[in-house]
A and B are shown apart, each in its own frame.
Chain A
């Protein structure tokens, strides 16, 4: 009887997965000659541990796609809870789930729908986990809306690579969307261009100068930013701004509206206030579907060799997608940068005026795209400590250096290393060239 049950199970499995398994067992005209398809591949995919970072718009799609692509041991990390504005695209969530953790609800839903798939949720931050945790996975897929989180996991995976242990190299597949646009890419840490190498592909929104906000606003957005950055600080310093609190948004909206009226500026709305303050990026189901499926497609090809995919050194690794005018994709090879602070081995050359102080140098660095997020940098050269944020004794000891000129601290062409608690594994290396 037991035997019968098992064989029935196998038979239904064979029936159930027949479309997928055809591709995992039968080579096609483009399949690599070296690839060995068959039961072994099916087994490899179903036992591979795969990590999905983010259970939002992309994450929901990724979990569904992976579960229906033969992956059976899926883990998912997300710290967020479900908001009503997620429901227009995050299809694993219902009105009744609002307020619950995304990772948990998403995992439950997909497990229930797709028999035999195990999804392990973790409701928290990626930063809570260490190298040992990430080492267990065969592949990591990101569906994130935060550049910071992408940079963190990228640095972690690059740092984990051990030349003597091939299993330490975890392919990273990353997708992102904004409105009708998106991109997906495959990264082989240390071997091909990484997230840090690609930072220039995501141009930051230009910040409006503070003096414009304070004295000469011209746009409704300027009035909103003023309410957000200046008025709140002046009038409600003791209350922590919660951009999800309608009372707070209403307060900012009213402030911005009054200021706009004062300057005869039109166009401040509640929705715009929310958009500016929360830095809302438009998001729709269709673009998420396209980008998540493209990411999962690369995962399947990478794990199975059923067909060649993106990401091998010397070949295309990046697909840009745009859907507002027709449909347009641009698939290319993004090149690894030798002076990438995460995966490169050269320091980035920067020209500086040798008469500026160390403090001014730190301010200048914070304006560079790669060092944009440096809030509390620690700086040293090969030989000495220039400025340490912590411990307090060292901070005190190095503080006087802040007001010294660069000429008194480093020599022309010397390398400095900058680190920051926000990116503990990344060391930004700069070679300082004195401007004559």
Chain B
């Protein structure tokens, strides 16, 4: 007889279509994607960039422009899925644009068939774009121009290679790229303040565990483990000069103490809440000290020296740093994991945490407001932004973007302050650093001849690239103030093989590897645009022979 009432909060058509991704980056991430306008500067076989675009058109990134002066040839059809027989002889930019548009009517895909150098000669050519992808090869002069534009305008720039079985890409992020919503793993990052409980939590726990021993089995088995831990910590402190278990050994002893208090004479022969308490000791009994990344944010110049123009992130970070100086802890995140408990007890406990978190947020928000007045800021920061920041304060990240390494025909690479860490990688076989060096040599040879290595002569080009790679290694060693060693000499031989494998491709892409690289790049673009999760900082290499990858920070 009963009929279901109409759906009140049912999903919209858009929510239905994007359901599987909204569960990852939510409506806020989706809105950021839809606002973005991406420029792809395509060249070579041009597949990796198009594959990346496919993975961005599908989730509904707002606007794309493909710049590509190539005309579709027969060889494109063997490697690019978004072209077919009908495309032969037509503009590659226009034809790929057409196929990509079919994937998602919600997005706007534009094309431009000019050459990169013609396009970039127009003064405001890059002005509309919020993110730029460049597929190698590109003349070093143009790449430098792009890098400078992105550096001064704060636009993220991706530079990518797909050559045979190898992929490389570098990301040039703005000088300060802060991320609040890093999506840390909730299991390993729960912060319950067991070692730094606030006064009300202590009082609450004492109240709730009063007469623990006298409780009947049912009550005893339903005391939330969090309160049990606080209770036994009180016991422990009494016999340890008021101190909490600090090291691994003490924590293990404390674990035994909790375990020994579990009732085993009940019908179940044990208690789940005590088991949870025991299991939580090593995981949750930690000082809530800010990690180096959070400290880095507090110590950043932008955090210390606010101005009326400072980004919201820095104003809030400053307020939280003040909060930390005053209270010795970061604002409480307020989330409580699920645990064995009666419903009402759990909800009550949850509310104890939630209301403390709200109190902390209010304190930070007040500080933010007084900063705004002091700085004479006109646009006020919303409390929801402060709240989101406070909840994830322990996991914020700041990435310091640095310019791309541009390997040109006639210049020597400047490794600047990264020289010694790069030199260390020369002998670290798992790092793929030598593959990066091989790609730098590849670009150098391209810049010299303006034709992809290996097209005309595989062996000869491999030899020249190896020579270039070795001189890159030599320059790096001298910038790092290091001498060559036996291991470095071995590295020089290994890099020769990598150069030979790159030359084997003759500037060609394998569809498959470009598809993989396009997946990696699209994923990073999504992270950069949504400012969620943590993007690669700053170089990524994928080796399709060994199916391994590395991220280098250079």
Contact = CB atoms under 8 A, between A and B. Distances in A.
Interface in B333-358: 338-339, 341-344, 346-347
Interface in A153-202: 179-180, 184
B419 to A, nearest CB: 23
Interface string A308-324: 11100000100100011
A331 B551 contact: no
B547 A23 contact: no
B534 A30 contact: no
A250 B341 contact: no
B515 A325 contact: no
B20 A284 contact: yes
A95 B198 CA distance: 55
Interface in A58-103: 61, 64-65, 68-69, 84-85, 87-89, 91, 94-95
Interface string B521-554: 0111010000001111100101011111101000
Given A17-B78, A85-B17, A327-B551, A284 B509 contact: no
Interface stretch (B1-9, B381-389, B409-417, B469-477): B1-9
Given A216-B342, A290-B520, A12 B74 contact: yes
Q: Of A95, A271, A280, A286, which is in contact with the most chain B CB atoms at under 10 Å from its CB?
A: A286
- Chain A interface size band reads 35 or more
Interface in A240-279: 246-247, 250-251, 253-254, 263-265, 269-271, 274-275
B520 A216 contact: no
Contact of A282 (B23, B54, B510): B23
A285 interface: yes
Interface string A113-153: 11100000000000000000000000000000000000000
A45 B470 CA distance: 38
A306 B500 CA distance: 14
A115 B85 contact: yes
Nearest to B182: A325
B547 A18 contact: no
A18 B78 contact: yes
Interface string B501-515: 100111011111101
A184 B516 CA distance: 12
Contact of B545 (A30, A274, A283, A288): A30
A72 to B, nearest CB: 12
B261 interface: no
Q: Of B78, B533, B535, which is in contact with the most chain A CB atoms at under 10 Å from its CB?
A: B78
A285 B59 contact: yes
B245 interface: no
Contacts of A28: 164, 500-501, 504
A87 B17 contact: yes
Contact of A30 (B79, B183, B497): B497
A29 B501 contact: yes
B15 interface: yes
Contacts, number: 257
B77 interface: yes
A115 B458 contact: no
Q: Of B55, B524, B526, B533, which is in contact with the most chain A CB atoms at under 10 Å from its CB?
A: B55
Interface string B320-342: 00000000000000000011011
Given A270-B7, A293-B516, A297-B516, A68 B81 contact: yes
B4 A20 contact: no
Given A15-B73, A68-B81, A310-B547, A88 B58 contact: yes
- Chain B interface size band reads 35 or more
B45 A19 contact: yes
B103 interface: yes
B515 A282 contact: no
Interface string B42-86: 000100000100110011100000000000011101110100110
Contact of B5 (A68, A113, A254, A310): A254
A326 B547 contact: no
Contacts of B104: 87
A64 B9 contact: no
Contacts of B343: 216-218, 263-265
B283 to A, nearest CB: 16
A289 B516 CA distance: 6
A281 B20 CA distance: 7
A361 B257 CA distance: 34
Contact of A325 (B18, B500, B533): B533
Interface string A1-18: 000000000001001111
A133 B500 CA distance: 42
B516 A294 contact: yes
A289 B534 contact: no
A326 B536 contact: yes
Given A19-B45, A22-B506, A180-B24, A68 B519 contact: no
A419 interface: no
A280 B20 contact: yes
Given A68-B511, A89-B20, A20 B516 contact: no
A32 to B, nearest CB: 11
Given A16-B74, A180-B24, A65 B515 contact: yes
Interface in A219-252: 219, 246-247, 250-251
A331 B21 contact: no
B79 to A, nearest CB: 5
Nearest to B81: A64
Contacts of B13: 84
A289 B167 CA distance: 14
A429 B505 CA distance: 50
B16 interface: yes
Contacts of A331: 546-548
Nearest to B10: A270
Given A29-B500, A254-B4, A331-B548, A289 B9 contact: no
Contacts of B85: 115
B253 interface: no
B510 A113 contact: no
B371 to A, nearest CB: 31
A307 interface: yes
B522 A324 contact: no
B59 A88 contact: yes
Contacts of A17: 78
Q: Of B55, B75, B347, B511, which is in contact with the most chain A CB atoms at under 10 Å from its CB?
A: B511
Nearest to A182: B519
B436 interface: no
B165 interface: yes
Contact of A316 (B24, B505, B523, B547): B547
Counting from the closest, the 8 A-B pairs by CB-CB distance are A289-B519, A19-B508, A293-B516, A290-B519, A68-B511, A15-B74, A286-B523, A29-B497
Given A19-B509, A284-B21, A285-B58, 4 more contacts: A26-B504, A68-B81, A89-B58, A264-B347
25 contacts: A15-B74, A22-B508, A28-B164, A87-B17, A87-B58, A89-B59, A95-B105, A115-B84, A218-B341, A218-B343, A218-B347, A219-B338, A246-B10, A265-B347, A271-B23, A280-B23, A281-B20, A284-B55, A285-B54, A285-B59, A286-B523, A293-B516, A307-B545, A325-B534, A326-B551
